[in-house]
Amino acid sequence: MDLQIAAVLLPLLGWAVHGSVLAHRLASARRDPLTGLHTRAGWTARAEHCIRRHPSAVVLLVDLDHFKTLNDTHGHAAGDAALVATADRLRAWCGRSGTAGRLGGDEFVAVVRDLAAVDLDALIAALHRPLPHNGVSLPLAASVGVCRVTELPVPLLTDALAAADAAMYATKGRGRRGFRASR
């Protein structure tokens, strides 16, 4: 190979490899390492895009019930298994109609284009299905708050999350099973 060509190609190859490594790191930073769901930053970007494009979008906030008790009783591996199962069930429910994310701890979020396109009762049933783990059936339960973006004066994700959060806490106050819509 001509020395002059090598002198030009070598730095270009280095920059290409460097760019690829940075792109991989950025993508990894936007995914939760345990569940594979989007982190807050990755999910927020997708949720805002969904809300802009789909006026009938719905934001959900999901919080596992009695997670600390499950962790303390069955161990952290069981808690991790519960988080992974919840993430898988939420991801499957969203399908191609939305995007799921993990905010942290035992708190998850989702945005779907239209609640009519998905079965909310099926999600609640899935989130309450026991999880087989090391020969034991782990009880799983979750409270879900729902906010229809059309109910907001201005369709902002921050307001939708606040309304879904309030609805989720109202669900916890009712005995922690099922879901509650905002307002």
Catalytic residues, which ones?
106
Residue 180: strand pairing partners: 145
In three state form, how does the secondary structure of the chain look?
A: CCHHHHHHHHHHHHHHHHHHHHHHHHHHHCECCCCCCECHHHHHHHHHHHHHHCCCCEEEEEEECCHHHHHHHHCHHHHHHHHHHHHHHHHHHHHHHEEEEEEECCEEEEEECCHHHCCHHHHHHHHCCCEEECCEEECCCEEEEEEEHHHCCCCCHHHHHHHHHHHHHHHHHCCCCEEEECC
